[in-house]
Amino acid sequence: MATLRTFAPAFALVTWATTASAEMPNDETRMIDTFAEYARKYDNAGNAIIQSRVPQELDKALCDLFPNPHVTDWTGKIKYVDLNPDGTGGIVINLNGNITLTSHQERPVKPAIAQTLETFNIGSWAVFSGNFYVTKSGQTIAQWAREAGTLKGNGPCVDISRLTESGRMHEPSIIFEFTSLAHLR
């Protein structure tokens, strides 16, 4: 039996049928719910100054939610696949209709995962594990920024790749390093 997840930004209402709730890990559900909560908070802010604080509050909430960047056995739909001649590739997985996880050009998916991608169609359900953005040195983006001196205190524990503040709140695309990928059965 499928459960329904609803994410309601001001400009659109997206209802997404997910796999049985037993198949969606609690941390994945909590992340989707956290984004929905902060998108509503952003939309209901009384003015632009209050609204501009919400993304930083979201960053802190995500850091609290994910003290470790690794997640296991998350589920989502394949949205985009790009296979490179060198055997690596890129992937975008949609979690709930608005939130996507995407590989990064600095860390493309490894050849073994790229080979698995060849068996997927756009829209196929996948189960996957991996890390929120990790630099080549193996650090999370927050660790790297702290060492570089560009991040003070609690900074982003996930790297949300959107050009606008509204896009960050309503259609976040999170940089992710995929370490395993399989068809959801």
Sequential DSSP letters for 42-85: HHT-SSHHHHHHHHHHHHHHHHHH-SSSEEEEEEEEEEEEEE-T
Residue 182 confidence (pLDDT): 94
Torsion of CA 148, 149, 155, 156, to 10 degrees: -20
Q: Which token pair is 131? A: 């890390």
Tens of each residue's pLDDT in the chain, 185 residues: 343 444 343 334 344 344 334 478 999 999 999 999 999 999 999 899 999 999 889 988 887 888 777 899 999 999 999 888 887 888 999 998 899 998 877 667 888 888 888 899 999 999 999 988 655 555 555 555 555 544 444 445 677 777 788 988 999 988 888 999 999 98
Domain map (residue ranges) of the chain: 3-183
Backbone angles phi, psi at 155, to 5 degrees: -110, -165
The helix (H) or strand (E) run that includes residue 8 is: none
31 Cβ contact partners less than 8 Å away, ≥ 6 residues apart: 62, 65, 66, 95, 99
